[in-house]
Structure 1
C-alpha cells in the first residue's frame, strides 16, 4: 500500500485480528522508498558523452580527407591517409588494458575524466596539425581514449543502474535500457561530424569536436562515481552519498543496497582472476569462442571501412546525390536504427536479430559490389545512381539492429562475473586489431582488386557470419546466468 510520502509497506498479513509480519512472525513495519530513475538516466547519458566523442573521432576521416584533398590545406599521400584512418584502431586495441587497471584502482569516474582530458588534448593537436606527423600522434591518442571508453563506460553504467525498477508501466529492465546508450551516443557522434564536417573548415570542425569533449569533461565532474567502486576502495560513506543521488532516496533508503554491495565486494575480493580462468571450464572456452567470433565477423562485415570512407565511397560511385548529403543521410539512419535496438532485442531474441542482420548485410554489400562491377566494366549506371545510397542505408539499418550492438550484449551474458572484466578487455582488443587491419588495407584492396571486389569480400564474410550464428550461437533471451552457463557446458 502506497503511503502519502511516496513509500510503500512491505509484506504484511492480518492473522487472528493481529498484525503479523509474514516472514519474521513478529510485529514490525518496514518501509522502502520508491526513489526515481531520472538521475540514473542523467548519469548514463553524461558518461556516454565519451561514446559520442568516440563517434566524432571515428567519423572524422569521412568528411575531412576529401576536404584536404580538394583544398590542399594539408597535402597527404594515399599511404598517409591510410595510416591516419587506421592507426586509431591499432591504438584502440591497446587502450582497454590500461583503462581497466586505472578504473579498478582509482574508480570509473577518474578513469573517464582522464579519458576526457586525452580527448581534448588530441583534438587540440589534430586541429593544430600541418602535416601527417602530428596527425598520427593525435589519432593514436584518440585510439587509446576510444579503447578506454568502450571498456570503462559499459562497466560504469552497469554498476550505477538498478536491475529492476517498478513504474506505473510493466516492469522495466533499466540496466538493459541504459546499456544501449553507448551505441546510440556513438552513432550520434558520427551524425554530428557527418553533418557539419562537409560545410566548415578543417579548424572549425576540430573546434566543434573539442567542444563536445569539453562538455563531457565538465558534466562528468558533477556525476558520482560507481557506488560499487567506492565500496571497493573502502569509501562506504561516499558510496552511500552516490546511491542517494542516483536513486533519489534518503540515507536509510539505500541501506539495503549498500549492504548488498559490501557483500558483493567482499566475495569478489576473495576470488583471484587470471587469464587461465578464461579456459578453465568448457563453458568459458565456448563463451570465448563465441565472443571472439561475433566481434570478428562484426569487423569483417566492413563496418569501419564504410564509416571511415563513406564520403569517398559515394564519390567513387559517381551517383547523382551529393556525397556529403549521402553521408549525412547514413549518419541519421544509423542513429535512428540504433534507437530501435533496445525495443526489439528482448522481444525477438538475439539470434533472430543477428541472423536478420547477417542476411541483410550480405545482400546489401553484394548489390553494392555489383554496382561497382558494372562501373568497372564501363556499363552506364546513370539510371541506378542512387543504388549505392540505398544499399548502404539497408546495410547500416541491419547492422545497427544486429551485428553492431549485439556482439557486446551477448558477450555480457555469456561470461560469468568472475571472468567478465578480463574477457571484455581481451575481446575489445581483438576487435580493434581486426578493425585496424581492415581499415588499413581497404584502400589497397580497392586499388589492387577494385571496389567491387572489396564489397563482395565483405558480402561473403557477412554470409559466413550468418552461418556462425545459425550453427553455433545459443539463444540467451530470457535465460538467467546460471541457465546460460549450463547451456554452454553441454
Structure 2
C-alpha cells in the first residue's frame, strides 16, 4: 500500500513539474525585466536608438500585464473545448516567439511587441498550469503540487538573475529561448487530464490517463467512479456560464474570496518589487552591489517557495496567509523607514543592510504564503466546471492590478516618496489580514465536494464519501511517513 501511494505521488509530481516548466519560463522573463532594464537605461545600451527613458521602463515592466487581460478568456475557452494540453502547446510557442524577438531585435519597439506577446503567454500559463495540476492531483497532494508553480517561477527568476549578472544582453536572450523548446518536447509525453477526458466522454482514455498518473498497479476504480459521479451531477445541471459565478450562492462566495485574495496578493507591491529590484537597490545605495543583492533576493524567493511546498502539508492555509501578511507589512515598513531617513538626508550607511534584508524577508515570506496559496485555494473552492470560468476572470483582474502597481510605481514614488509607496503597500497587507481572519474558510485536507457544500450551505451524498476517502488517504500518508 505504502509503495503504491509513493509511486502515485511520484507520477503526480513528475506531471506537475513538467506542466510547470511554463511557470519556470514565466519566471525567467520576470527576472529578465529586473536585470535587463538597467542595461537598457545605461549609455552602453544594446539598442540602436540609445538608452530608453523611464517612461519606457514603466511600460516595459507593466505592458505584459495589460495584454494578458483579453487573452485569459480565450485560453479558458480553448481549454474547455479542446483540452488542457493544446493550451500548453500554444503558450509554449508564445514564449518561444517572445524569446526569439528579444534575441533578434535591437529596437525598443520590437521589445514592446515582445512584451505584449509575453503577456498573452503569461495569461495562458495561469490558465493552463493550475487547471492541469488540480485535475491530476489527489485531494491529499493538491496543496503540495499547487506550490510547485511558485517554486518553478522562482527557479526561473533566479536563473535569469544569475545569467543576467554574469553574461551579456544577447547571450541572456538566447538562454531564455531554450526552455521553451524543452517544454514543447516534454508536454508531448505527459497525459491529458482525466477530468477533461471524462467531460468529453472519452472514458477509456480517461482511465488510461488516470492509471498513468497513479501507477500501473494502483486501484483507480474508486477514484474514477467518484469522479464520474461528480461529472454526472454536473451534466444533469445546465452548462456552466459566467452568470453562475454570481447567481449561485456557493460560487459567488468562492468568487469574491479569490478576488479579495488577488487584491491582497498584488497590492502588497509584488510587481513593483520584482520588476524594479535592481533599480531599488541602485537607489538605496546599499553596501552590496545591486546585482549581488538581487541574486540574494532571488535565492530567498526560491527558499520560500521550497519551504511552502513543505509547510503547505502541515499548516492551515489561513495560518500561512496571515503569517505572510504580518511579515510582509513589517518588511515593507522597515524598508520604508530606510528610504524615509535617506530622503531626509540622514547618513544611512550604518544600516545599509536594511534594503537587502527587508526585501529578502519580503520575498521569502511572500513565497511562503501568497505566491501559490491563492491558486491552491482557488482550485479547492470551485467545482471543475466553474474553475476555468473563475480563472478566466481572476487572471485578468490580477493582471490589471499588477499593471497598475508596476506602471505607476515610479509615479507613486515621485508623488509620496519611495518610502510612502512601501508604507501604502503595508496598509493593504493589514487589510488583507482582517479579511483572512473574518471571511476566508479553511480548505486544507478538505475534499472538494465537502468545500463546495459548505460554501453553498448544502450537504450531498458524494460529500460524505469524499470525506471518507480523503481521511483514509491522509491517514495512510501519515502512517507511511512515521
Do the two structures share a fold, i.e. TM-score over 0.5? yes
Structure 2 residue runs without a partner (length 5+)? 458-482
Deviation digits for residues 412-459 of structure 1, max 9, x if unmatched? 333344433212221122111100111011111223332111111111
CA contact (8 A) 1:89 1:432 kept: yes
Structure 1's 274 and 357: CA in aligned 2 closer, same or farther, altered over 3 A?
same
Task: Say yes or no: does 1:241 pair with 2:198.
Answer: no
Deviation digits for residues 251-270 of structure 1, max 9, x if unmatched? x9655655555554444333
Structure 1 residue runs without a partner (length 5+)? 8-32, 164-172
Q: Normalised by the size of structure 1, how large is the TM-score? A: 0.86
Q: Normalised by the size of structure 2, how large is the TM-score? A: 0.87
Match of 2:92 among 116, 119, 135: 116
Structure 1's 238 and 488: CA in aligned 2 closer, same or farther, altered over 3 A?
closer
Structure 1's 257 and 285: CA in aligned 2 closer, same or farther, altered over 3 A?
closer
Deviation of the 1:389 alpha carbon: 0.5
Give the structure 2 partner of residue 69 of structure 1: 41
Residues in 1 aligned to 2:429 and 2:137: alpha-carbon distance in whole angstroms: 34
Match of 2:183 among 216, 227, 250: 216
Task: Say yes or no: does 1:101 pair with 2:77.
Answer: yes
CA contact (8 A) 1:95 1:146 kept: no
Match of 1:132 among 101, 108, 111: 108
Residues in 2 aligned to 1:314 and 1:335: alpha-carbon distance in whole angstroms: 19
Q: Give the structure, 1 or 2, with the largest relative contact order (CA under 8 Å, sep 6 or more).
A: 2
Deviation digits for residues 40-59 of structure 1, max 9, x if unmatched? 22211111000000111222
Matches within 5 A, 1:200-349: 200-249=167-216, 254=220, 257-258=223-224, 261-271=227-237, 272-349=239-316
CA contact (8 A) 1:82 1:440 kept: yes
Give the structure 1 partner of residue 477 of structure 2: none
In terms of fraction of residues, the more helix-rich structure is 2
Task: Say yes or no: does 1:402 pair with 2:369.
Answer: yes
Matches within 5 A, 1:345-360: 345-360=312-327
Larger radius of gyration: 1
Which range moves more in the overlay, 261-270 or 350-359? 261-270
Task: Say yes or no: does 1:87 pair with 2:63.
Answer: yes
SS at match of 2:243: helix
CA contact (8 A) 2:147 2:373 kept: no
Residues in 2 aligned to 1:269 and 1:36: alpha-carbon distance in whole angstroms: 29
Residues in 2 aligned to 1:478 and 1:177: alpha-carbon distance in whole angstroms: 11
Residues in 2 aligned to 1:382 and 1:415: alpha-carbon distance in whole angstroms: 51
SS at match of 1:285: helix
Residues in 1 aligned to 2:451 and 2:220: alpha-carbon distance in whole angstroms: 31
Deviation of the 1:117 alpha carbon: 0.9
Deviation digits for residues 231-290 of structure 1, max 9, x if unmatched? 43344443343334333316x965565555555444433331112211224333332222
Deviation digits for residues 164-211 of structure 1, max 9, x if unmatched? xxxxxxxxx223222221111111111111111122111111111111
Match of 2:14 among 21, 36, 42: 42
Structure 1's 201 and 229: CA in aligned 2 closer, same or farther, altered over 3 A?
same
CA contact (8 A) 1:295 1:407 kept: yes
Give the structure 1 partner of residue 418 of structure 2: 451
Deviation digits for residues 30-75 of structure 1, max 9, x if unmatched? xxx9964333222111110000001112221100011222322222
Matches within 5 A, 1:43-62: 43-62=15-34
Give the structure 2 partner of residue 376 of structure 1: 343
Give the structure 2 partner of residue 152 of structure 1: 128
Structure 1's 396 and 260: CA in aligned 2 closer, same or farther, altered over 3 A?
same
Aligned residue pairs total 452
Give the structure 1 partner of residue 460 of structure 2: none
Task: Say yes or no: does 1:161 pair with 2:137.
Answer: yes
CA contact (8 A) 2:146 2:375 kept: no
CA contact (8 A) 1:296 1:431 kept: yes
Structure 1's 480 and 230: CA in aligned 2 closer, same or farther, altered over 3 A?
closer
Structure 1's 243 and 303: CA in aligned 2 closer, same or farther, altered over 3 A?
same
* RMSD of aligned Cα (Å): 2.4
Deviation of the 1:353 alpha carbon: 1.5
Structure 1's 135 and 34: CA in aligned 2 closer, same or farther, altered over 3 A?
closer
Residues in 2 aligned to 1:333 and 1:488: alpha-carbon distance in whole angstroms: 36
Structure 1's 484 and 221: CA in aligned 2 closer, same or farther, altered over 3 A?
closer
Which range moves more in the overlay, 469-478 or 58-67? 469-478
Residues in 2 aligned to 1:293 and 1:425: alpha-carbon distance in whole angstroms: 16
